[in-house]
Amino acid sequence: MRYYIYTMVIFLLLLMAPGVVAAGGPAVTVPVPSTYMLSGSAKATDDGSNMYSPGPGPITFSRHGEALYVRVPAPACNGTRLISLEDRETGIVFRNNTMLLPPGSGEQAGSLVVTTGNLSAESDGYAGQVTGLELRLTGGQAMAGGTNYTAGAIILLRDLTGGGGYRVSFADDGTVEEAITSELEARGRAIAAISPVFSIEGTTPASEDAAGYLIVTILATDDEPGTYDASNTTLYRYKDSRLSAFKPQVIRAKNGTMCQAIVSGTGQFALVAARPPGSEETGASVTDAGSLAIIGGVMAILLLALAAMVRRVTKR
């Protein structure tokens, strides 16, 4: 439950951010290098209250056997561990064993979040084992059927030492919708509503292999109430000419519907509401008083979780 609330909070932040991908526009590539440069203005603090200027220099990732390690350059004192790091010039931040790494300069399309064990002092800096890698892709926006769709994803990475990155776009030559139509027709169903196809692909074989599970979220705003509900909504993934279906979590708010699903691997994604052929029904509306109370409670929980996260990250 804690991780679900956490991911929903993250997606509220992602989907509220300005989209950098537009339908019909060029794809945006988010690089995932294995080295991130600190500027000369970076400041670090250890658990002995010593302060350092670790930059300029590289934060590096390396693999030793099955484990991935991160190293932060600094004139470290023996027996200490890194408590905080902030580089306002590059946007790199480390607190509470969590590191935020912007993907690079230019348009901000995402960020890499690295969780670690303790980063302990070594001869040339602080080093420790990586316990988690999340690439958060900022949502893009596209219109379809009078509804505005915003899409975003978190990629749970297995590795980042292979370099490369991920290409994000809204693009479909009709192949994905045709495959979905055929799948629904085989079950006696038809498309009632479909989002633009949201594509995420690795730029190299290494980055494709590094992508584990994805948490994909699509927000439909100003959609007709009841268009997307838990009974009729599916998130489809199209990859290598194969179609996979995932049942998303569906939350209805006053002016839109948020759908989120955990999927395996990159691909092309489309949110679909299905109906029987010839029927105009798209599902029962869930905007009654009871549902609105539930949504209000969920939003309150999300805001409380967000406040706790902010306090945790900003705690020194």
Q: What is the per-residue pLDDT for 176?
A: 95
Confidence of residue 161 (pLDDT cuts 50, 70, 90): confident
Among residues 253, 247, 222, 220, the alpha carbon closest in space to that of 235 is found at 247
Residue boundaries of the structural domains of the chain: 2-314
Q: What is the per-residue pLDDT for 192?
A: 92
φ and ψ at residue 256, rounded to 5 degrees: 175, 180
pLDDT at 302 over 90: no
Q: Are strands 82-87 and 43-46 parallel, antiparallel or unpaired?
A: antiparallel
Among the ranges given (128-137, 167-176, 267-276), the one the predictor scored with the smallest mean pLDDT: 167-176
**Do 21 and 168 touch, CB atoms closer than 8 A?**
yes
CA 296 to chain centre: 24
- 181 vs 186, 193, 223, 226, 276, CA distance in Å? 9, 11, 21, 21, 12
φ and ψ at residue 241, rounded to 5 degrees: 65, 20
Q: What is the per-residue pLDDT for 104?
A: 59
Q: What is the per-residue pLDDT for 78?
A: 86
pLDDT at 213 over 70: yes
Dist CA 283 CA 126 (whole Å): 55
Among residues 95, 125, 212, the alpha carbon closest in space to that of 160 is found at 212
**Do 48 and 76 touch, CB atoms closer than 8 A?**
no
6 token code pair: 């956490």
Kindly report the pTM of this predicted structure. 0.77
Mean pLDDT computed over 115-139: 92
* 179-196 confidence digits (pLDDT tens): 999 999 999 999 999 999
pLDDT at 276 over 90: no
